[in-house]
Structure formats: C-alpha cells, structure tokens
Chains A and B, each alone.
Chain A
Amino acid sequence: MSVDIEPERIAAMLRQFEVERFLYDEAALLDARRFEQWLELFTDDARYFMPIRRTRTRDDLEREFTQPGEMAFFDDTKGTLARRVNKLATGRSWSEDPPSRTRHLITNVRVVEVRGDELDVESNFHLYRTRLKSEETSWIGSRRDTLRRLDGTFRIARRTILLEQTVLLSSNLSNFF
C-alpha cells in the first residue's frame, strides 16, 4: 500500500527532523561540557544575543526587550564566544569548578521561515542548573535561531535568547543557552 503525501510535506518533515536532530545534538554537547565542539557549530559571522527584558505595560510592550546596540546579558560574536570557551578551559574558572550540573531540554521546535540556505527556527528551552550543595537555577525561555546549511548539516548564524525573567534570578550566567 502506498501513502500519497505531497513532496513538499515530505521535504518539510525531513527538514523538521534535521533541525531537531541538530538542536538536540547541540544540547548534548553543552551538557557534556564539550564547549570547543559546541563553538564549531557557529558560523564565523555568528551573533549570540540575550537582551534584557523589562516589565512594561501592555501598550509599551514593543520596548520590553532591549535591542542590538543597547545593553544585553549577552551580545557575543564567535570571537567573544571563543573567549568564554577559552576561559572555561583554563582550569582557573572558579565559578565553573566544580562544574555546574546542567541539563538542556529543547522543545517546541518550529521552522518559521526558509530563505534558500538559511532557516529561521524557534524553540523553547529549559536550562536546569545545580551547583555545589543546594544552588538551583531554572532558566526557561525561547530561542530564535538562524541556521545556515553547510556541508550537509547546519551552522548557527544567529541566536537570540529570550528569557522569561526580568531581574535575573541567578548569581551569574556562566553557562551557554
């Protein structure tokens, strides 16, 4: 028996599968603390941006998040991300030694736009971290990624991380999202 599915739907399913597998593999690298390999997933022109969120009234919501060119929690290029990764590799990065225990849960993956070799992908995340005896942090939010097809897989050309927090309810951001 043959199932009659339009080729575009097959292509969309395949794309969804590839994107999800890429994001899950990426999360696995972070939780395994394989940061050098994780860094290789970014394009050379990548931007990694986590704006600051502010409680504002409903009619003022377009200014809820800060924009590029304003202050943010992260506003990194691949070069500055590399410096963060190098810091963790020094063996003197005390806020990650003993290392945090992290688990990245990536869900609600949606390909929202396809432009030739680039895909805009939204996903939700729960980054759970514990440190030392009883320090516990939960960061929940969404990511808007621009993925670029390269050599049969993807590279991250842009990642914007939107946290569901205004005042950051943690003492630092020594982990990647």
Chain B
Amino acid sequence: MALELEHANDLVSLTSGELDRRMFSDADIFEQEIVEIFGRAWLFLCHESQIPKTGDFLESVMGRDNVLVVRQKDGTIKGLLNTCSHRGNAVCRAEEGNARSFLCTYHGWSYGIDGRLIGVPGHKAFYGSKLDKAEHGLREIAQLAVYRGFIFGTHDSAAPPLEEYLGATGRLGITLLAARGDMVVVPGIQKFIIPCNWKFAVDNLFDWYHPQVTHASAFNPAVIPPAPKPAEQPARVQIDMAGVHTQSGEEIGVPVTEITGTDFDQMVLVGEYGHAIGGPRVGATISRTASSEHHWRSEPDAQDALGPIGIDVDGHPSIFPTVWITTSAQLSLRIPRGPMQTEVWWFTFVDRNATPEERRRQLRRGHLLFGPAGLLEQDDGENWAQSTMQTSGLASGRIPQLLTMGLGQGKLVKEHGLARIEGTTSEHGQLWTYHAWAQWMRGLSWNDLRAATEPGDIL
C-alpha cells in the first residue's frame, strides 16, 4: 500500500530541506520501495556489449527479482525471470555465460533461451500430456528496452517508453558516457556489499561537499597527484575551515584539488521522475587543469548528441533510482538488498577503438579511484553505513536529515528541454532526488507522478 499523500510528503520537505531519517532504516518503508519504486521504475540491467552473441546471458537484478538478460537468435534481447514455472527454483546458477537452454535442476523442466518451455520430464507418463507447455514458459519482465546500448527493464507494463521515462536529463546522463566513442564494458563487474541504505549511496553521487574531507587522504599529492595546471588559472577561493579540527585537535587542512573549492562553478540539472545531474561545469574544470580528458567533446557527433547545455556538463548523472554514471566512464549500480544493506556493482567502459595506452589508462583509473579498493571509494562506505545505523536510533532517528545547502536559492533555468541551476556547491541534486522519491512512494499514476516531479522555478 502506498504511503498517504500527507505522510509521504512529511518525510521529505522541499521547503525546509529536511528529511525524516526513518526513510533510511524503516523496514516497512523499504518494503514499500520494493513495490512502488523497484516494481515500477525502469531499472538498468546491463550493457549490450556484455551479451554480444546468441545465447549470451547475464543475471541482473530488479528489486528482489533475478532477471536473465539473454541475447536471442534474431539479435533481440529478452529479460526472463530466473524462476522455474513449476516450483520456483532458479533455472540458471551462473552470473554470466552462454546458454543453449536453461535447465531447472529440481525436476528437469527445460527452457529455450527465449524462455519457451521445451522439455518436461514425464510429460506423457505423469501429466498425461495435459500440461500446456505454451502456458508455462519462463516469465518475461513486463518491458525491456535499450537506449544507446544501455539495457533497462521494468516490471510495470504501464510504464512510459524508456526514452520518455529518461527524459532529457536521463538521456543526457547516458549520452555523457555513450558519446565518448564506441563504448563497451570491460569484462569483470566489481560487486560488493555495504551495510547501508541504498539512498545514502545514491545521495552521495551529487555530494561535492564531502570530497575534501571524506577523501582528504586520497587527495594528498603522494596519493592522487594533482592534475597539471594551465599557465593562467583563475584565483581560487579557499573553503573556510574555522573551527574544523580532528579529535586530537589538529587542523585538518583542505587539500587543494580540482573538484573542491567554493569558487567552483557547478551546474545541477533536475528532471521528471527524479533524474538529476550535479557537479562542475566543463568550462570550470578546463580553466583549472591542463587535462585532456575532454577531447572527446570536440567531436562533431558528441557535440550534436550532448547539445548546447550538455556540452558544458562535467557532473555526475543519476538515473532514478539507482544508476550513477561517473565522469570516468564508469557506471555504478546500487542494488537494495535490505533497509540496511546495499550491493554495489561497478561497470567500467572503454572505447572499442581505444589505443592500448588509452585502454590501459582507463583501466588504471577504474582500478585506482572507485570500487571497493578505490583510493576514493574505500572511505565512502563506512560513512554511509554509520549514517544508516544511527537513523535506527530512537532519539537519533528523530533528528531531521539536513539538505539545506543553497535551499531556496536555486533558480531553475529551462532551456533545450533541461532545467538547470548554476552556482556553487549545493544540495539541490540530493533534495530533488528525495523529493521525487516521496512522490514515487505515494503510488501515483504515471501522469500524476510526472506532474509531481516536474521541476518548478526555485529549489
């Protein structure tokens, strides 16, 4: 059952920028998310390049359902629930591979890669040929669609088409990765489990306030060397750190990096259904580093695909609910396993036409920055886990969660189908995501949900 209108809106306030902390650990709210969000939204499954040949499959996750994403003989893709139509057993135990058929190892029901039931032991002898095989194939997910090679599925047959669901903001988010070249996933998805609520992991992708403290050790020059600087650089405003000390009373110092600084020009884009992008503008990044990471943007195809606003976006896209696309051409999926448990999957992309040196650099970036051993990500999980844990405290859980940075000061400029806010670091991206979350939890019709997540004039 959906949360009542008042109740859902009580959990997230756009006007005060406060959240009810119970949303991060309450078991009933989690169960409702499984129905209202993970039972309806388009969810990322995998990338086309991971299943190139007939029979190639990868087991992905939609809420608590395991889904076999399978390449068909005619080149199309099907999403099949990994559960035998007889008694429910999984018909595939491997996470990826190539199959000619799927066998249930319980009683032997056997299915084609298209899901058709093709063999039932004792069909004549025990069932008297009365079991209609045509009715008992593997169940397909309600809808599956592909955008620029990214495969999504939804459990809701009434969900709008994927491109419409993504909207201009979600499509731009994917394009920011897809337009870099002929992008393919490097074999090997890093999977690991963090004892945190999935929303903390999602929220963090917009959070350009935490790097200088959470990742202070990583931004030490002996750990991640600073990017080379151009000859002329705009003056940098230091973040004020008055009163900020470690437990032993030392000043913690702000490492000077290319992604921190109060003068940093940021852009937050917010869109229907809760998609958003937050982070630096390209112009700001380039004025401060001599980095060549943006050369792909000068290709005419990329310029066309990104459009006049997208070309200047160097922030982190979030496809609601659980996809984060990084500026390092990786995709992080945050799979909810329980109110206080999240499984993270990292997909690393590389251009099929990359030189060996470019490929080596991309893999090195993937190995060093993110994933469980990443110099950055090592330090994220415990923050989210501890934040999650404290929300379950009786008194601690009553303290409002604050997302008030920049509140009421974000003027939305609407151009080229996108709604954007320009300014310094803010919490607009997170607050927008939580606002959309509350609307999803109300169980609205698709039309009403779209209307309720239409960006206004001020955030």
Contact = CB atoms under 8 A, between A and B. Distances in A.
Give the bracket for the number of chain A residues in contact with chain B: 35 or more
A103 interface: no
B95 A90 contact: no
Interface string A51-85: 11011110010010010011111111000100110
Nearest to B386: A132
Give the bracket for the number of chain B residues in contact with chain A: 35 or more
B222 A83 contact: yes
Interface in B90-119: 93-98
A171 B381 CA distance: 6
A173 interface: yes
A167 B372 contact: no
Contact of A56 (B95, B192, B368): B95
Nearest to A65: B188
Given A90-B220, A90-B223, A95-B381, A166 B190 contact: no
B86 to A, nearest CB: 21
B190 A171 contact: no
Nearest to A57: B94
B10 interface: no
A133 B187 CA distance: 36
B370 to A, nearest CB: 11
A167 B193 contact: yes
A92 B372 contact: no
B223 A171 contact: no
Given A71-B363, A73-B372, A52 B97 contact: no
B371 interface: yes
A86 B225 CA distance: 12
Contacts of A86: 220, 222-223
B218 interface: yes
A93 B359 CA distance: 29
Nearest to B383: A94
Contact of A174 (B188, B192, B364, B378): B378
A172 interface: yes
B214 interface: yes
B187 A71 contact: yes
Interface in B256-306: none
Interface in B324-379: 343, 346, 348, 359, 363-364, 366-368, 371-373, 375, 377-379
15 contacts: A56-B94, A70-B363, A71-B367, A72-B367, A73-B373, A74-B367, A83-B224, A90-B222, A92-B217, A94-B217, A94-B383, A95-B378, A167-B343, A168-B193, A168-B372
Interface of B: 93-98, 186-196, 214, 216-218, 220, 222-224, 246, 252, 343, 346, 348, 359, 363-364, 366-368, 371-373, 375, 377-379, 381-383, 385
Interface of A: 50-52, 54-57, 60, 63, 66, 69-76, 80, 83-84, 86-88, 90-95, 131, 135, 166-174
Given A71-B190, A83-B223, 16 more contacts: A56-B96, A66-B188, A71-B188, A72-B367, A73-B190, A73-B373, A86-B222, A86-B223, A92-B216, A94-B383, A166-B95, A167-B192, A171-B195, A172-B372, A172-B378, A174-B378
